[in-house]
């Protein structure tokens, strides 16, 4: 029999992909700005857009049919051009890392939740590296604090996000926010990640599907990144401590980014 306490809670989003939740103070359903939207506002858009352009060019080279369709289109054929761009990026493997990362993330979630299942053979070494690294550094996972939606209702607009885990680090009784990253690199996005994890740590409430529970006391000075690149062979798992006190200050001081009510 499935334990319903471990099933994911249904989620509701508006047309801007904001989480729709009752406001903590008023009970009125409102769109909550995503934590990741705030965190990655500071990201280097030039580098991201340059990468997208490269993928588009490579993808068109790999798909002559898409190139022909593009040549036959005009700038007014927006839906067709959008579809061409998406398929060209897929052909270049632009989304492969995200898809593989999501799969690996799901496997680690099931492992940490104590689920008894057979890991797909291609991921066994990754999971072994993940579990061994956590054991070597005495990181304790708390299954009851996994994949929880937390909110900051006193920000304008209110903010919500879903943290991966709360853990206990060696020699520290206080809970610490931990985030699993499966991309190629994390150091290039250190500021954005620090802001993201700082927002989780400074949340005041957790949505339980029917109402709000108080956010447990967590470390507001540091957080943990568990870096497990999905496409790295042999797999390596690396832990990083993040200065989220600086991340919180960066989030609050950025003009127009967010502010307390």
Q: Which domain covers residue 72, as residue numbers?
A: 47-91
Regarding whether 72 and 198 lie in a shared domain, the answer is: no
Q: Do 120 and 226 share a domain, yes or no?
A: yes
Distance CA 164, CA 144 (A): 11
Residue 4 lies in a domain: no
Are both 106 and 77 inside the same structural domain? no
Residues 74 and 116 occupy one common structural domain: no
In a domain, residue 59? The reply is yes
Give yes or no: residues 82 and 116 share one domain.
no
One domain, residues 79 and 183: no
The answer on 158 and 55 residing in a single domain is no
Residues 146 and 75 in one domain: no
Give the DSSP letter of residue 11: -
Cβ(31)–Cβ(18) below 8 Å:
yes
**Looking at the structure, do residues 83 and 160 belong to the same domain, yes or no?**
no
Q: How far is CA 247 from the centre of its chain?
A: 16
Beta bridge partners of 166: 177
Q: At residue 22, what are phi and psi to the nearest 5 degrees?
A: -65, 135
Q: What is the rounded CA–CA span in Å between residue 104 and residue 98?
A: 10
Q: Answer yes or no: do 134 and 195 share one domain.
A: yes
- Taking CA atoms, 18 is separated from 40, 128, 160, 254, in Å, by 15, 35, 8, 21
**170 and 85 assigned to the same domain:** no
Please give the chain's pLDDT, 261 residues, in tens: 334 344 456 689 888 889 999 999 999 999 999 999 888 765 555 566 777 888 899 999 999 999 999 999 999 999 999 999 989 988 887 777 788 999 999 999 999 999 999 999 999 999 999 999 999 999 999 999 999 999 999 998 899 999 999 999 998 989 999 999 998 888 888 889 999 999 999 999 999 999 999 999 999 999 999 999 998 889 999 999 999 999 999 888 765 444 443
Burial class of 233 by CB neighbour count within 10 A (0 to 12, 13 to 18, 19+): exposed
What does the chain come to in residues? 261
Question: Is 194 domain-assigned?
Answer: yes
Q: Using the CB atoms, write b or e for 45-83: b if 16+ within 10 Å.
A: eeeeeeeeeebbebbbeebeebeebbeeeeeeeeeeeee
132: left (phi over 0), alpha (psi -120 to 50) or beta: alpha
CATH number at residue 196: 3.90.320.10
Q: Classify residue 231: in a domain, yes or no.
A: yes
Residue 97 falls within a domain, yes or no?
no
Do 158 and 177 share a domain, yes or no?
yes
Number of separate domains in the chain: 2
């Amino acid at each position: 029999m499935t334990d319903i306490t471990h099933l994911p809670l249904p989620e509701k989003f508006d047309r801007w992909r904001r989480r729709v939740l009752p406001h903590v103070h008023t009970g009125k359903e409102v769109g909550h700005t995503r934590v990741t939207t705030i965190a990655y506002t500071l990201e280097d858009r030039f580098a991201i857009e340059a990468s997208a352009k490269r993928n588009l060019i490579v993808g068109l080279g790999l798909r002559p049919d898409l190139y022909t369709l593009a040549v036959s289109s005009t700038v007014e054929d927006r839906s067709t051009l959008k579809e061409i761009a998406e398929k060209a990026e897929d052909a270049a493997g632009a989304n492969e890392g995200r898809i593989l990362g999501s799969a690996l993330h799901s496997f680690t979630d099931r492992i940490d939740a104590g689920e008894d299942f057979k890991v797909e053979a291609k991921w066994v070494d990754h999971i072994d590296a993940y579990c061994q690294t956590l054991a070597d550094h005495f990181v304790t996972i708390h299954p009851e604090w996994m994949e929880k939606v937390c909110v900051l209702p006193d920000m304008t607009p209110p903010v919500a996000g879903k943290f991966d885990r709360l853990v206990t680090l060696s020699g520290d009784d206080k809970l610490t926010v931990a985030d699993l990253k499966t991309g190629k690199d994390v150091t290039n996005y250190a500021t954005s990640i620090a802001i993201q994890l700082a927002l989780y740590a400074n949340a005041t409430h957790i949505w339980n599907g029917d109402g709000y529970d108080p956010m447990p006391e967590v470390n507001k000075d540091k957080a943990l990144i568990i870096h497990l690149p999905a496409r790295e062979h042999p797999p390596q798992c690396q832990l990083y401590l993040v200065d989220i006190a600086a991340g919180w200050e960066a989030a609050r001081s950025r003009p127009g980014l967010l502010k307390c009510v």
